[in-house]
Structure 1
Amino acid sequence: MFERFLPSREAITQSRMLRWLGPRIHDPLLWHINRRAVARGVAMGVFFGLMIPIAQIPAAAIASLVLRGNLWIAAVSTLVSNPLTYGPIYYFAYRLGAGVIGTRTPPDLTPEDVEAPIRMIDSLAQAWAWVSGIGQPLLVGMVMMAVTGSLIAYWGAQLFWRFKVVNKWRRLHRERRARAASAARRPLGSA
């Protein structure tokens, strides 16, 4: 379904902008769908999707080049965070980081501080203190969520792949037994 919107492997490997990557871009693990490459791609995509708010896809692509994960899966997995989920993700990350660090929520700005023109400089200082107070707990929470999310994504992809392979093997085994049983029930003269 998505293949029609994505550039082909040949288009990417022949791109002049990516020529500096040399033979690294031709690595089969970047393009093939196998258990290890997909699990690495999902883990990198989720890590960078939860860790950084901008340039997630290029960061995941560079990491997949270095760690030999599936490039497409890494890029698509960054969509775990998107404009609809940024708010809840960063709020949860802040609350998680604040709980770990032990900081309390920064005080809210009162309307009186914003209305008084003489106290505008003070309110700007309060706003700056409020924003800078968010930084450390938010960063700690984002790192914790990104590492935990990537580990869960890696092992989840591994388990999902294993589950699909085992189910396929069981289904094929059942079909073989059913064919063998139906062949055994047929009379010898009929074919």
Structure 2
Amino acid sequence: MKKFLKHYSPNPNELKNHKHLGWLGKHLHHSSLWNFNRKSISKAFAVGLFCAFIPVPFQMLLAAPSAVIFAANLPVSIALVWITNPITMPPIFYGCYKLGAWILDVSIEKDFVMSLEYVWQVFGTIWQPFLLGCLTLSIISSTFGYFAVQLTYRLKAYKRLRRS
């Protein structure tokens, strides 16, 4: 898997000279952004999963600078935001709304319809549970993702040591 990801990752030397990347371009030479090791991948999972559940368009634009700031693997951080894509977004964000409503102990809209029109009509009443659910899921998933990668790497290393 590591070889596959490295093969399809962009070349950092080509990216840092790209004019359209602005301030981000000069930071793209940092090795931790391109390493596939326990530290950078676990940070990438935290960054990518956190950004995936933030209800804004173009979540990749949040994940890229966050990966640079936290020295996380850039391609993995950006790829993970695609957990919420146009197909998965409606059920995931409805789940976020239900989670937030449960936390706040408020009733869920009885006639909830999965359409952008309906959401805009009732946004005044659903925004608090929706945003709370999104933030909660962002924090939980990023924390879980970080520690799951840490544990996976450690278990793999332990198995390698036991074999030798």
Mapped partners of 2:153, 2:80: distance in 1: 16
Query: What TM-score, normalized to structure 2?
Result: 0.83
Matched residues, number: 155
Aligned position for 2:145: 153
Asked if the contact 2:18/2:25 (under 8 Å) is kept, the reply is no
How far apart are 1:72 and its partner, in Å?
Answer: 0.9
Aligned position for 2:43: 40
Q: 2:70 aligns with which of 57, 60, 67?
A: 67
User: What does residue range 1-191 of structure 1 map to in structure 2 within 5 Å?
Assistant: 1=4, 6-18=9-21, 20-21=23-24, 23-108=26-111, 128=121, 130-171=122-163, 173=164
Q: What are the superposed Cα offsets for residues 150-170 of structure 1, whole Å, 9 maximum, x if unpaired?
A: 000000010111111112222
Asked if the contact 1:94/1:139 (under 8 Å) is kept, the reply is yes
Gapped regions of structure 2 (runs ≥ 5): 113-119
Stretch of structure 1 that moved more, 33-42 or 17-26: 17-26
The structure with higher relative contact order (CA 8 Å, sep 6+) is 2
Q: What are the superposed Cα offsets for residues 41-70 of structure 1, whole Å, 9 maximum, x if unpaired?
A: 111000001123411112111101111111
Mapped partners of 1:4, 1:30: distance in 2: 15
- Identity, in percent, stands at 27
Asked if the contact 2:12/2:28 (under 8 Å) is kept, the reply is no
Letter in structure 2 aligned against 1:166: Y
Give me the CA root mean square deviation.
2.3
Query: What TM-score, normalized to structure 1?
Result: 0.73
Other structure's SS at 1:26 match? coil
